[in-house]
Amino acid sequence: MDCAVVPGPAVARLTVVRPDGSVEGLRVPLAGGVPARVHVEECAAARVAAVAELRVTELDARDGELAGRLVVRRVDGDQSVSVRRIGRSVLLDAWADLPLELTARAGAAEVGVTFRPGTCEPHVLSETKKPYVFPLEVTLGEEPPVVVELPVDDELRTALADLVQLVCDPAWRGSAPGRVGKEAGPAAPGGTGQPGRGSARRAVMRGGSPSADGGRLTSPRPERT
């Protein structure tokens, strides 16, 4: 993708056959700014990835939660990197000890992060196609903040799927790790037979900012009482 070029408005190509038999090709503008929005999101993610790598490590599942470390590691450049908010996915809540600050020229920084199922509604478990998409608000240096997706690798995806199975269906307890979809039961996340397949890039974040799969950016996790 060439981020120096802003895409034009979307158009539909129509072929019109007139009564006299003549044929004419038309370009009809489409409503909405989806191509421009996709362009902005993907270029924002590319800018962040060029400076820093984001990942979750040191996974530890217990007491109905999955804990880990949210790590930002410098890839190039000397810009500061700040992660100030993390959003939930359609299926799981997420909290982190934010802000996560990588100062200029520092190599890496990390904070604790925790995931917990936010719903066990059968229709959500069986129908969602984007169970593990978590939006992060990231700032590079003095640039405006952008929203990117938290990278979810195979280890994290499997751990999240196991957590949902454990919490939402006691019948799955003791089953083979990573079993989801039809093999695990009708209410498995995504209903695709594999954890996380079909995760998408976009949706609308509640509260007026872009997010993923209906998630919302949240403040750091409140203290338990």
Lowest mean pLDDT among 112-116, 132-136, 162-166, 211-215: 211-215
pLDDT at 1: 64
**Per-residue model confidence (pLDDT) at position 211:** 37
Return the SS3 of 150: coil
What is the SS3 assignment for 189?
A: helix
Cβ atoms within 10 A of the Cβ of 14, count? 10
The topology under which CATH files domain 53-218 is: Immunoglobulin-like (2.60.40)
Domain boundaries, the chain: 53-218
Report CA-CA distances (Å) from 69 to 77, 110, 114, 140, 146: 23, 6, 8, 21, 21
Decide if pLDDT at 59 tops 60.
yes
Tokens 């979809």, residue located = 181
Whether the pLDDT of residue 160 is over 50: the answer is yes
| Chain segment 115-152, per-residue pLDDT in tens | 999 999 888 888 888 899 999 999 999 999 999 999 99
Res. 178 pLDDT band, cuts 50 70 90: very low
Residues 6+ apart with CB under 8 A from 139: 80, 81, 82, 84, 145, 146
| Residue 140: predicted pLDDT | 93
Residue 194 has pLDDT above 50, yes or no: no
| Comparison of pLDDT for 171 and 55, the residue scoring more | 55
Percentage with pLDDT > 90 across the chain: 49
Task: Work out the average pLDDT over 170-184.
Answer: 42
Q: What is the pLDDT of the chain when averaged over all its residues?
A: 77
